[in-house]
A and B are shown apart, each in its own frame.
Chain A
């Protein structure tokens, strides 16, 4: 009973934290809610009419939704970029911000699951996947694997983040015996969710564009760019608008890791492009459709080259220590990385994989307004969850910051008022 009482105090405290904020906070929330409502309305129309309101057809049977899903699995997996140095090497500056990586992973997985739900034709039958009521075709179907690993990864992150914040809220340190093994488990799990998601496509011999063993490593490389890119921007915003201290060193380190990941990503893309273009078989068609178009079918070409250009720009910026330290070029790099990976992992992976279709037909897919609205709604919901969680997590970890480092005079700068408001 005591636990329930303590937890409800935590929940009530969290809720009251979410309910207070400056005008800009409320405007941001209202903006997100407006997008969510717009998305919900679009989705309602999609449910009542059918997936025919999207641009997907038998030829290109997956589109924008599954593209976003794939991209966001990468974002979720990227929390590991922060976890590895923080827990394995006990590297202090990053350790403080690992919790935000985990919160980002939680929000990203929520978005992933929503993108899958809006993509399926019969969301009312979702329970068919869940034994014992339903039947999960495990281990034969890679989609069954994906359902499992995504949910386990989600639960691990949720448990660790909630536990750390809950303990901090009550002025206690987290339980090492619980957190350390779970965090260590989350490292292979993060690699796992992205690898399994890559295998989802990789295993289909019917689609030569996906049926390449470079896919899983390339997924990981690009994920280690896009996830940290979002986090770097969030961390700078936190530093600006709250009393939270994040050392430049930590930000510089993350940016450096992104440069290596982006190099690997570009290298793997190059390796794949070489194999396709030099061997010049029938399977080249898909790569050709993405980069050059096939005949008059050139819808995706501008996206392809934008992605290449953005990835090159972000690599150039992050590999240069001076540019990493300059806030303008750092954020430009983040934006370029995010956009570049979003294009190549979203549209660039799914659409060329299915164009031309299995019988050689070219159907040019381009998302409809419904798809864009639903997707914007899901992103807004993810950002809403992330915002609300940050609203709770930032003050709580600030409180922890004071408690554990009060001997250190440098930490005393944090305003005491914050602690008071949290524990009230």
Chain B
């Protein structure tokens, strides 16, 4: 019989090796995976599972889109510093749209109040300005969110490859793969990345149920998040929430590869600048003075 095999030690060793190989295969084939590299079919399944999970957690139907990048599209943003009045409507529209935590508060957009005398000077910027009325005389405002850099320091440093740039130029995070080491936050020159220090607190009624798997789907505690140009909207041809809400018309958005787009017009005709140009991050977020 088999049990009389001459050297049981070898067969035991062989068994152990076989078992280890099988375990590795099972883990790599069936275990959780970076969304960056899962095949389309498995992504669909994973997303259905997310929808089920979110819908039961929040007792309402939550859809998670897997809309892919569109060919021939590279998104870019431009912000007119001469028009921004510092009202922070964009900040709160963004919070609503992208399911950011209300308690504790987490904002993807930070509006900095600066003195006209000093110009764009971060060491004198005030993010907590709170006058009775904006704009304050002698001040101008610089809203800052993720600059969607072409040479992004954050994706380079991520040890697990949980953040990357999509083909349409949006830097995204896989919230199910991020280990929360916050190296990307140390690497970001724009303070654009935010960490969930506790479980995000969002009133059930205020949850935006239209989500994207790389964007505004609910996040767990202990992971990093940031602006995605409203990926759930822009991949369906809509404007980001901040562009829509801006009462001053200071926010412009479009396809960099489309010669007739507004964004191209601005870059070609206005005085355009990027933040911290010397760091060679090559932002897709431009600031300009229209007037």
Q: Please report A residues at the B interface, Cβ cutoff 8 Å.
A: 49-52, 56-59, 61-62, 116, 119-123, 125-126, 128-129, 132-137, 140-144, 147, 200-201, 203-207, 282, 285, 353-354, 356-361
Hey, what's the 0/1 contact readout for B213-236 against A, CB within 8 Å counting as 1? 000000011111000000000000
Contacts A50-B222, A361-B127 given; does A122 touch B158 at CB 8 Å: no
Assess whether B191 is in contact with A357, with CB atoms less than 8 Å apart: yes
A122 touches B178 (CB 8 A): yes
Distance between Cα atoms of A291 and B220 in the complex (Å): 38
- The 15 listed contacts between A and B (C-beta, < 8 Å) are A57-B197, A120-B180, A120-B182, A121-B222, A125-B160, A129-B179, A132-B24, A132-B27, A135-B160, A135-B161, A141-B156, A144-B159, A205-B279, A205-B280, A357-B191
Give complex CA distance A119, B159 in Å.
15
Using A50-B198, A52-B104, A61-B186 as known contacts, say yes or no to A140 and B181 having CB atoms under 8 A apart. no
| Assembled-state Cα–Cα distance A359/B28 (Å) | 41
In contact, B181 and A143 (Cβ under 8 angstroms): yes
Nearest A-chain residue to B199, judged by Cβ? A50
A51 with B195: CB separation less than 8 A: yes
CB-defined contacts of A361 to chain B, threshold 8 Å: 125, 127, 191
Q: Collect the chain B residues with CB atoms within 8 Å of residue A122's CB.
A: 178-180, 220, 222-223
Chain A, residue nearest B124 (CB)? A360
CA distance A144 to B122 in the complex (A): 32
Residue from the set A125, A282, A353 with the largest chain B CB neighbour count within 10 Å: A125
> How many B residues have CB within 8 A of the partner chain?
52
Residue of B nearest to A142 (CB): B157
Question: Is A133 within 8 A of B31, CB to CB?
Answer: yes
Docked Cα-Cα span, A140 to B193, in Å, equals 20
Q: Which residues of B contact A (CB under 8 A)?
A: 24, 27-28, 31, 34, 37, 104, 110, 112, 121-125, 127, 144, 153, 156-162, 177-183, 185-191, 193-199, 220-224, 279-280
Knowing A143-B159, A207-B186, the reply to whether A132 touches B181 (Cβ < 8 A) is no
Does B195 lie within 8 Å of A204, measured CB to CB? Answer: no
- The interface residues of chain A lying within 8 Å CB-to-CB of B24 are 132-133
* Chain B residues whose C-beta falls within 8 Å of the C-beta of A137 in the assembled complex: 158-161
Q: Which residue of B lies closest to A211 (CB)?
A: B279
Is the pair A128, B191 in contact by a Cβ cutoff of 8 Å?
A: no
CA–CA, A52 and B181, complex, Å: 14
Chain A residues whose C-beta falls within 8 Å of the C-beta of B28 in the assembled complex: 132-133
- Give 3 closest A-B pairs by Cβ, nearest first: A121-B180, A121-B222, A360-B122
Q: Could you say which residues of chain B place their CB within 8 Å of the CB of A140?
A: 156-157
Complex CA–CA separation, A25 to B157 (angstroms): 45
Asked whether, in the complex, the Cβ of A359 is within 8 Å of the Cβ of B110, the reply is yes
B187 engages A206 (CB within 8 Å): yes
- Contact in complex: B190, A358 (CB < 8 Å): yes
Assess A204 versus B179: contact at CB under 8 Å? Given A52-B197, A133-B28, A358-B189: no
Contacts of B190 in A (CB 8 A): 358-359
* Beta-carbon contact of B34 and A61 below 8 Å: no
> Chain A residue with minimal CB distance to B222?
A121
A140 to B165, CA, bound (A): 15
Contact B123 A205 (CB under 8 A): no
CB pair B157 A143 closer than 8 Å? yes
Whether A136 touches B159, Cβ cut-off 8 Å, given contacts A50-B199, A58-B191, A205-B279, is yes
B279 contacts A206, C-beta separation under 8 Å: yes
| C-alpha spacing A356/B125, complex, angstroms | 11
Distance, CA A50 to CA B195, complexed state (A):
11
Q: Give chain A nearest CB distance to B95 CB in angstroms.
A: 15
Residues from chain A with Cβ under 8 Å of B197 in the complex: 50-52, 56-57
Q: How far is the CB of B20 from chain A (nearest CB, A)?
A: 11
- A143–B183 CB distance below 8 A: yes
Given A120-B179, A129-B179, A141-B159, 12 new contacts (CB under 8 A): A50-B221, A51-B197, A58-B194, A61-B195, A121-B180, A121-B195, A122-B223, A126-B179, A141-B158, A204-B157, A206-B187, A359-B127
